[in-house]
Amino acid sequence: MLSNKLSIHGYAYAHKSNPKEITVENKWGGSLGFKTPTIIKYEDESYSTIKSWGFDALPEKPSKRRKNVDKSRPVELFKLFLLNEKPTFPDTLDYRKVISDYLRKLGEMIKEKVDIHWHDLDFYNKVLIVLMIPAGYDDHAIAIMRGCAFSAGLTREKNSRNLIFITEPEAAAISCLNPLEKLHNLKPGDSFMIVDCGGGTVDLSCHELLANNKIREITRPTGGSYGSSFVDKEFVGFLRRKLGSSTIELLEKEHYNVLQYMVQKFCRRVKIPFTGERSNFQPYEIDLDDYSWLKDIIKGGKEKRLLEEADWSIYVEYDDVKGMFDHCITKIIHLIREQLAQLQNKRCSAIMLVGGFSESEYLQARIKKEFNKIVLNISVPTQPMIAVVKGGVQFGLRAETMVNRGKPSDIRVIGFTCCHISDSKIFINTKWPPREVYPKINTILQYDRNFVNIVNIEQWGYPEQDETRPVELFKLHLGNLQENLKPRLPVAYKKAITDYLYKLGKLIKEAVKKNWVGINFTENVLLVLTVPAEYSEKEKAIMRECAHNAGLINEGDSLQLQFTTEPEAAAIYCMDKLREYDLLTIGTTFMIVDCGGGTVDLTTRKLIDNKRLGEITERIGDFCGSTFIDNEFGNFLRERLGTRAINLLIENRYSQFQRLVRKFCRRVKLPFTGNNTRFSYELEIDEYAPDLLEYVSNETRKIMEDNDWVIDIKYDDIKKMFDPIIERIIRMIHVQLLNSRNNGETCSAIFLVGGFSENIYLQKRIKQEFQHIVKTISVPTNPVSAVVYGAAMYGLSLKNPSKADATMIHTRVLKFTYGIRVLGIWKEGEHPPHRKIYGNRIYLFDTFVKRGTQVEVGKESSPKRGYTPLNPSQTGLRFELYKTLEYSAKYHDEPGMELVGTLRIDLPDIHLARKRPVAFGFYFGDMEITAFAKNELNGQNFQTKFYLHKDL
């Protein structure tokens, strides 16, 4: 049993006859350590012959006198291509070749080790290889890794069953099982968090401890490129300020090995031993006499003058090092907060820090200080650096340890309605080619082998072929997921969205033509697209661009395309339903629980006047839609048929797996009421997934043959799939009701909308929980279509002249804090030294309005006055508007900050020097932010709307 990790590489191995004896490799050529760097050197720029790899490819100590020691630059960071990032890389080199070459060298070492321990063992048939991968790898990245492993000679067949994958957080969680139970007395039902702090990335996930030493993943894994190498980059930035940008650029281009040696020396002497205690710190001296030739390439100027005054020595002080760490650690703390937020009301019993960076005493101290009042047990296991590789071996020895792996098959669905302003009668489309009769269709495409044209022209949304795997989840590229968590697609995500809108547009145009003959579509039809509430101006601009390219509008900025959010559209639809319950009175407060496929979103609204709605609490949501029950069904199949078997089916025969899921949905999930305890369904495996028969183990095959390849799904099995998901929805409703009470409001009604809301069992559970608190709990007519109906009603309000001056959405509660970047005064003790721009100046975040504030739509706010130019000869001012999820912020570049847009204004009259005050403000419209500025001397006004920017 072998385990391997792509980062700083390491591997471990064990024999199934003695599973407790896991050996971690600690000898790499002439170097000792549990891991070796992911780095490789070639003989020349043909990249045909490997010169060295791992530790041997690291730069040697440079000569004091000779600067032409070794200019050959190693190839590194090649795995970032699989996380959808593009590091600096030779133009003529394919990153897949580098991965294959590195795995080949590693494989040679592994094979040699296997032969030493188990002579004459058939490597290709008797050795199971487990590759650990970042949580951000999608199916496309895993397929590339499998192909590279095959090219490297690790497997004899590309689809060999002797190569499997596990994510790094999952492997770390498995490795921590025993330490968690011993150190923290965890029991089944308790949850814990794994924070895997590596060199390149930090990956987080939360798990629940189950019976029989099993665990399941209970949050969506998150992460980012905030590993220890982030501190190295900050150190290079420090050198840039001391030596000058031109010097660093020359080192990076001509003397990369020298620069890397300086970084490695800093790591050994400063980064690794840094504790964060000022009393334990000794300033670190970089003596440039050790690189005397370096003096010759430092250009004259302020940097050279300061170095000469310091006798060519650079001193790294405590505050400098602390600043290098703090920026990185702040991002990690933010990720931990996000994981805790995903748990909702479930308590996290322990946080385990693993990975090489977790050994940093300063990182440990900061995390414990931040969370020790929330999480009682925060610890680092013995040898945290090897937790992942050991967990990989344990997973290979006992793959069933993880009973809830991977993302749900979150296939979004979409639909449309249409109406004419003359009678306001709304029609909903229920016919989708070739035969489906339903208000919505899957957001999924299938292309030809070259991923150029869509195949199954009459079956888009319901692809069945195995020729190419369907392209799905492309809308996630518009969400606020971190880049490394967005799915890898075989086509550009904008192309997929455009192609899908083109197919949808053809149906819409046919429906318009059929109902209203002679209508000019692009001139006389108003399109209203509903988008998730979290979409920023950037995402809406991209949707507009795709709609234009799909032929839905003639011009990119056409007013014939408008947007509204999904929760607001649902609220508008339900506002019309208040009359049915005698609640159509001013001041009525009601909650919308939009239960969709991927997410469940809650919003609480108040009827203001003239059929206008106000928002009284922040919207909340979670990934607990109906597809998570599909995911639980997948886990059920893994328990019955084996994890390897189901994973191979998904990888090689995806359409057969989807047939099993769809059969489960139609025959089990949709009709389940929770009333009939004798409910059961016989699922015929050989009929719907015949290729699965060849993937199961011999033991499972015998059991299934005795059962005629039929799996009996019983009442308790189904209830176990539903209950964890429904309990998360119930917890969110409790939170939303509490927030309403805190704002002095009483919720009069709860409306359940969305496709999942039609489930009888979900309705029953919610009514049982809240019927004594909320008088009216109802599922309106056509709940699956509530959003598209509400969108049509919103569009009618825009087109009806009598209501042109009154938007249906009156107030909103902000989910972000907004402000601008300003140049302020640096203060010792309050601001870190590395944030100085020049002199005593520093960039700060000037808050205008905080998250949670209720604002009136379309109402201009009072501006802030007194902004003046810094330079007397300045001819203009630039205001940069930022937003963050945090309730307060100090700097414009803190983790989570996003640039909304920029407003530039002219400032004539330079003879007045700095005495030219400007007022700046902004306000919120239906689906845009309007920023304005006024020159207070000449009265000149400037204004812009942030909703058409494509490059923010």
Instruction: State the residue for tokens 């009259």.
Output: 909
Compute and round to an integer the Cα radius of gyration of the chain.
Answer: 30
pLDDT tens for each residue of 314-357? 898 999 999 999 988 999 999 998 888 888 778 898 998 988 88
Structure tokens at 608: 């203001």
Q: Say if residue 206's pLDDT is above 80.
A: yes
Domain 177-380 annotated CATH 3.40.50.300? no
Residue type, 817: T
Question: Residue 447 carries which DSSP code?
Answer: B
> 202-209 and 222-224: which strand pairing?
antiparallel
Among the listed residues 39, 140, 133, 38, the one whose alpha carbon sits nearest the alpha carbon of residue 391: 133
The pLDDT score that the predictor gives to residue 332 is: 93
Say which range, 46-60, 147-161, 338-352, 441-455, has the weakest mean pLDDT.
441-455
Containing 203, the helix (H) or strand (E) segment is strand 202-209
pLDDT of residue 62: 59
DSSP letters, 299-330, are PSSHHHHHHHHTTTEEEE-HHHHHHHHHHHHH
Stretch among 48-52, 667-671, 742-746, 856-860 having the lowest mean pLDDT: 856-860
**Cα–Cα distances in Å, from 564 out to 222, 252, 570?**
28, 48, 10
For the stretch 577-596, pLDDT in tens is: 787 778 888 888 999 999 98
Question: pLDDT tens digit string along 903-937?
Answer: 777 777 777 777 888 888 887 765 567 777 777 77
Q: Where are the chain's structural domains?
A: 2-168, 177-380, 413-559, 569-625+723-806, 628-713, 814-946
Q: Residue 65: pLDDT band by 50, 70, 90 thresholds? A: very low
CA angle 809, 813, 818 (to 5 degrees): 115
Residue 673 pLDDT > 60, yes or no?
Answer: yes
- pLDDT > 80? residue 939: no
**Residue 54: pLDDT above 90?**
no
Q: How confident is the model at residue 459 (pLDDT cuts 50, 70, 90)?
A: very low
pLDDT band at 4 (very low <50, low <70, confident <90, very high): very low
Is 455 in contact with 655 (CB distance < 8 Å)?
no
**Residue 75 forms beta bridges with which residues?**
40
pLDDT at 46 over 80: yes
Which residue in this structure is represented by tokens 């031109």?
246
Confidence grade of residue 401 (pLDDT, cut at 50, 70, 90): very low
Q: What's the pLDDT score for residue 947?
A: 45
User: SS in 3 state form for 707-726?
Assistant: CCCEEEEEHHHHHHHHHHHH
- 120-129 in b/e burial notation, b at 16+ Cβ within 10 A? eeebeeebbb
pLDDT at 400 (0 to 100) = 40
The pLDDT of residue 1 is 40
| CATH of range 2-168; options 3.40.190.10, 3.40.50.720, 3.30.420.40, 3.30.70.260 | 3.30.420.40
Structure tokens at 91: 């133009």
- The two three-digit tokens of residue 413, written as one number: 């669905």
Instruction: Indicate the pairing of strand 589-595 with strand 749-753.
Output: parallel
Domain 569-625+723-806 has CATH 3.30.420.40: yes
Which candidate, 253, 337, 233, 371, places its Cα nearest to that of 887? 337
pLDDT over 70, % of the chain:
83
Q: How far is CA 140 from the centre of its chain?
A: 16
Token pair listed for 903 = 């407003």
Between 67 and 367, the higher pLDDT residue: 367
**What pLDDT, in 10s, does the model give residues 806-855?**
455 566 777 789 998 988 888 888 888 888 887 888 999 988 888 878 77
Q: What is the mean pLDDT of residues 49-58?
A: 76
The tens digit of pLDDT for each residue in 116-133 reads 767 677 888 888 888 888
Q: Are strands 444-445 and 471-472 parallel, antiparallel or unpaired?
A: antiparallel
- Residue 514: band (very low, low, confident or very high) from pLDDT cuts 50, 70, 90: confident
| pLDDT at residue 69 greater than cutoff 90 | no
Confidence of residue 727 (pLDDT cuts 50, 70, 90): very high
The stretch 934-943 carries a mean pLDDT of: 73
**Residues β-bridged to residue 591:** 604, 750
Q: Which of 214, 206, 229, 96 is nearest to 150 (CA)?
A: 96
> What's the confidence (pLDDT) of residue 404?
40
Contact 191, 349 (CB under 8 A): yes
Statement: residue 182 has pLDDT above 90: no
Supply the pLDDT for residue 726: 93
Residue 673 structure tokens: 């009421």
* 805 φ/ψ angles, rounded to the nearest 5 degrees: -100, 10
Quick one: pLDDT at residue 628? 85
* Higher per-residue pLDDT: 544 or 796: 544
Give pLDDT, residue 477.
77
Partners of 426 in beta bridges: 419
Confidence of residue 858 (pLDDT cuts 50, 70, 90): low
Min mean pLDDT across 12-21, 221-230, 350-359, 835-844 is at: 12-21
CA 836 to mean position of chain CA atoms: 32
Winning range, highest mean pLDDT, from 4-18, 383-397, 517-531: 517-531
* pLDDT tens profile 420-438: 777 767 877 776 665 455 5
Residue 880 forms beta bridges with which residues? 902
pLDDT band for position 440 (50/70/90)?
A: low
Q: What is the pLDDT of residue 725?
A: 92
End-to-end CA distance of the chain: 47
Are 2-168 and 569-625+723-806 in the same CATH fold? yes
> Is 36's pLDDT higher than 80?
no
Of the ranges 24-33, 196-205, 772-781, which one carries the lowest mean pLDDT score? 24-33
Condensed to tens digits (0 to 9), the pLDDT of residues 136-169 reads 777 778 888 888 889 889 888 877 878 888 887 7
Name the pTM for this structure: 0.52
Q: Has residue 251 got a pLDDT over 60?
A: yes
497-505 average pLDDT score: 89
Distance CA 382, CA 880 (A): 47
Q: Which residues pair with 929 in a beta bridge?
A: 924, 946
> Whole-angstrom Cα distance, residue 121 to residue 111?
10
Angle between helices 387-397 and 168-175 (to 10 degrees): 80
What are the tokens at 251?
């080192």
Pick the CATH number of 814-946 from 2.60.34.10, 2.60.40.10, 3.20.20.70, 3.90.226.10: 2.60.34.10
The mean pLDDT value for 17-27 works out to: 69
Q: What are the structure tokens assigned to 610, written together?
A: 């003239």
pLDDT at 27: 61
Angle subtended at Cα 829 by Cα 825 and Cα 831, rounded to the nearest 5 degrees: 45
CA count, 13 A, side-chain hemisphere, 149: 28
CB 695 within 8 A of CB 657: no
Mean pLDDT of the chain: 79
Residue 935 has a pLDDT of 79
pLDDT at 35: 61
In this predicted model, what pLDDT tens digit does every residue of 677-701 receive, in sequence order? 988 889 999 888 999 988 999 999 9
Q: Is 218 exposed, middle or buried (0-12, 13-18, 19+ CB in 10 A)?
A: middle
Sign of CA dihedral 45, 48, 49, 55: positive
Return the pLDDT at 619.
75
Q: How confident is the model at residue 455 (pLDDT cuts 50, 70, 90)?
A: low
Please tell me which of 375-384, 476-485, 487-496, 767-776 the model is most confident about, judged by mean pLDDT.
767-776
* 33 vs 633, residue with greater confidence: 633
80: its two tokens: 């970032």
Locate 588 and state its tokens: 């009525």
